[in-house]
């Protein structure tokens, strides 16, 4: 099973254990919309909260080094975004993730 398929399963099921397995300890998540940088622990806590609900998830490209995907995301506060994610892999895990988001009407 691909890294992105496992990542998508972890998000869909709020599965912190699976996320912990596929996210590298040196992971960094860069949100370009806000400039924030998040670490592994913060992202797994966010995942467990159930705040992120994704639909129409499409893996656009994936190999042993990188992956790209697009999805529509709805947050608990009602905000919606179209999100493009770029991920770098190391040791079979996600080590870096960058996202670009376009706000959508609620």
CA 47, distance to chain mean position in Å, is 9
What mean pLDDT is predicted for residues 8-25? Answer: 96
**For the chain, how big is the Rg over CA atoms in Å?**
13
- Greater confidence (34 vs 18) lies with 18
Domain count, the chain: 1
Q: In the structure, what pLDDT confidence band is assigned to residue 19 with cuts at 50, 70 and 90?
A: very high
User: Range of 47's domain?
Assistant: 3-104
Mean pLDDT of the chain: 95
Kindly report, residue by residue over 75-96, the tens digit of the pLDDT: 999 999 999 999 999 999 999 9
Q: How far apart are CA 38 and CA 103, in angstroms?
A: 20
Residue 23 pLDDT > 90, yes or no? Answer: yes
What CATH number corresponds to the domain at position 75?
3.10.450.50
Q: How far apart are CA 94 and CA 3, in angstroms?
A: 8
Of residues 100, 98, 92, 84, the one with CA closest to residue 23: 92
């Amino acid at each position: 099973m691909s890294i992105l398929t496992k990542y998508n399963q972890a998000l869909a099921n709020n599965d912190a254990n699976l996320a912990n397995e596929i996210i590298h300890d040196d992971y960094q998540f860069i949100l370009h919309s806000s400039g924030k940088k998040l670490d592994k622990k913060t992202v797994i806590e966010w995942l467990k909260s159930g705040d992120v609900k994704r639909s129409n998830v499409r893996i656009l490209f994936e190999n042993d080094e990188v992956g790209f995907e697009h999805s529509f995301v709805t947050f608990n506060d009602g905000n919606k975004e179209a999100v493009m994610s770029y991920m770098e892999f190391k040791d079979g895990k996600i080590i870096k993730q960058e996202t670009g988001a376009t706000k959508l009407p609620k």
